[in-house]
Structure formats: structure tokens, C-alpha cells
């Protein structure tokens, strides 16, 4: 795929799991500049920071200042680690990033629904809401995230649509990770809204050792864009995935 932007397509650069920390300051400017050069919008799929501190968020926001295209993001579990996801969110919003948590947005005529998602496992291995209150709360969290995703998808009015998450909605793109931890990498409950409201493609991160591509039951392509995975699979390329959506006539 050439690096030249096109009039007939909207090009997205997607990456997750940047895990920005103090020592990262200054090291990702070239990477962000390359993404900005290659695409019409940047999608960030969670674990933006490493420990979820205010300082990491501030340094990341400064690093993102080289990006001249719209940025749409969801948070990941690491962004919650220090108990201040709202600070992380606000810092990034202040820097011009659209941080989605169940809201829809539109970039160059393409609708985007974004949510962090949650864990719980896949298919017959999905954890059920049964027994202790803590178990029920765990399952409820996944259900809440799925409901947020569904509500964002239902609000999209564009013909072309994308979804971004941190956790994986399918097992296919976590394969490669130890089987023992599959239930902590995502949940089939996140796939249900995507089957009801199909999109052109889904992007997620979190599974650093997963698989780059899979599909939902409905055939929607799902891309694991965790930065460590992209780096390992394509050490010769900048670690973001480019994805083109045909440009709608009104935006051409
Ligand atoms: Fe991560
Ligand atoms: Fe994560």
C-alpha cells in the first residue's frame, strides 16, 4: 500500500498499546509524524499510557502535538491503573483527541463507535453472571461495555462505519497468547452489538502476542493493532495499520 493519501478513500492509521511512559518522551515523534503523513485520521486503541498517571498523559499529549490529522481514541486497562482515567481523558481531550467511551463520532464522513470493552472470555467459555456478587459485577462490567458499544453503533448514521475497542470482541485475534489468559483479553459479549450493527472494520489492542486479523461471526474484519504485535510481525514498517474506507461522495 502506497503512503500517498487518496481522493477516493479515507485512510485510517490504527495502533493500540503505546504504553507511553516518562522515558518515552521524544521517542515517538517520528512515529506519530509518519502516521500523520500516511493517513487522514489516527485511531488509538487503548493502553495509551503505561501506568495511567497524569504525567504520562501530559507527556503523551505533548508528543501527539506533531499529529496534524484528527485523532480518535479509547482508553485501555493501563489507563485506569492509577485510578485517574478522567484525568487521562481530559488531558487528551484538551490536546484535541476525541476520546470515546460509548459515544459515536464522525471523521471525513466515516462513523466511528468507540468503547474500552472488558474481559470475560469467549463462546462457551464466557463467564456467566452467577454466584457471588463479585462474579456478577465482573460480568456486568462486560455487559455495560457491550451496551455502550451498541448504543454508539445505533447512533451512527453514516454508510461507512468503524468500531474501536481496547479488548478483543473475538477469540481469533487473541490466538497466540497463552490459552490460560484468553478470558482476560476480551469478551464475546462485545461481538453481539457488532453482529446487530455491522461495521466495515473493528480495531482493538490489548493482546500484545495475539493475531493480527480475524473476523466476527458476521464476517466483519477485526484487526489487532497492538503496537508490540505490529512491531514483531513487521519490524520493517512503522507500527500502525493503514485501513482505507471508500470516500463518500459528499466528502470527496
Ligand atoms: Fe497493552
Ligand atoms: Fe491492555
Per-residue pLDDT reduced to its tens digit, 173-210: 999 999 999 999 999 999 999 999 999 999 999 999 99
CA of 226 to the centre of ligand 2 (A): 9
CA of 204 to the centre of ligand 2 (A): 10
CA of 206 to the centre of ligand 2 (A): 4
User: What pLDDT, on a 0 to 100 scale, did the predictor assign at position 250?
Assistant: 64
Q: In which residue ranges of the chain is pLDDT below 70?
A: 1-4, 250-252
Cell of 95: 490536546
Count of alpha carbons within 13 Å of 184, Cβ hemisphere only? 7
The Cα 132–Cα 175 span in angstroms is 30
CB 45 within 8 A of CB 164: yes
Q: Which of 40, 88, 94, 27 is nearest to 67 (CA)?
A: 40
CA of 207 to the centre of ligand 2 (A): 7
- Cβ burial of 18 (10 Å; 0-12, 13-18, 19+) is buried
User: What pLDDT, on a 0 to 100 scale, did the predictor assign at position 4?
Assistant: 59
In what helix (H) or strand (E) does residue 73 lie, and over which residues does it extend? strand 71-74
Radius of gyration of the chain, Cα coordinates, nearest whole angstrom: 17
CA of 207 to the centre of ligand 1 (A): 7
Counting ligands in written order, the one closest to the CA of 186 is 2
Output DSSP code: residue 172: T
Q: Which of 188, 232, 224, 218 is nearest to 206 (CA)?
A: 224
Q: Pairing state of beta strands 201-204 and 221-224?
A: parallel
φ/ψ of residue 14, rounded to 5:
-120, 135
Counting ligands in written order, the one closest to the CA of 15 is 1
User: What pLDDT, on a 0 to 100 scale, did the predictor assign at position 5?
Assistant: 75
Q: Which of 85, 111, 116 is nearest to 100 (CA)?
A: 116
User: What pLDDT, on a 0 to 100 scale, did the predictor assign at position 3?
Assistant: 53
Helix (DSSP H) and strand (DSSP E) numbers for the chain: 6, 11
Counting ligands in written order, the one closest to the CA of 118 is 2
Q: Which residues pair with 175 in a beta bridge?
A: 177
The Cα 67–Cα 85 span in angstroms is 22
Full-model pTM:
0.96
Amino acid at each position: 500500500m502506497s503512503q500517498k493519501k487518496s481522493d477516493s478513500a479515507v485512510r485510517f492509521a490504527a495502533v493500540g498499546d503505546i504504553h507511553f511512559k516518562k522515558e518515552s518522551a521524544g521517542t515517538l515523534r517520528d512515529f506519530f509524524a509518519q502516521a500523520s503523513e500516511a493517513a487522514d485520521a489516527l485511531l488509538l486503541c487503548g493502553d495509551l499510557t503505561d501506568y495511567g498517571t497524569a504525567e504520562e498523559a501530559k507527556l503523551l499529549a505533548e508528543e501527539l502535538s506533531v499529529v496534524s490529522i484528527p485523532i480518535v481514541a479509547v482508553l485501555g486497562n493501563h489507563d485506569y491503573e492509577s485510578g485517574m482515567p478522567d484525568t487521562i481523558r481530559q488531558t487528551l481531550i484538551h490536546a484535541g483527541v476525541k476520546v470515546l467511551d460509548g459515544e459515536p463520532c464522525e471523521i471525513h464522513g466515516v462513523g466511528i463507535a468507540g468503547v474500552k470493552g472488558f474481559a470475560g472470555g469467549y463462546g462457551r467459555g464466557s463467564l456467566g453472571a452467577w454466584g457471588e456478587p463479585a462474579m456478577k459485577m465482573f460480568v456486568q462490567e462486560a455487559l455495560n461495555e457491550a451496551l455502550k458499544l451498541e448504543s454508539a453503533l445505533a447512533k451512527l448514521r453514516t454508510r461507512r462505519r468503524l468500531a474501536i475497542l481496547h479488548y478483543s470482541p473475538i477469540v481469533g485475534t487473541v490466538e497466540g497468547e497463552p490459552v490460560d489468559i484468553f478470558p482476560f483479553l476480551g469478551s464475546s459479549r462485545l461481538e453481539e452489538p457488532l453482529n446487530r450493527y455491522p461495521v466495515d472494520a473493528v480495531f482493538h489492542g490489548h493482546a500484545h502476542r495475539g493475531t493480527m486479523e480475524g473476523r466476527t461471526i458476521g464476517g466483519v474484519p477485526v484487526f489487532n493493532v497492538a503496537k508490540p504485535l505490529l512491531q514483531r510481525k513487521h519490524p520493517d514498517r512503522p507500527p500502525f495499520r493503514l485501513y482505507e474506507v471508500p470516500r463518500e461522495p459528499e466528502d470527496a
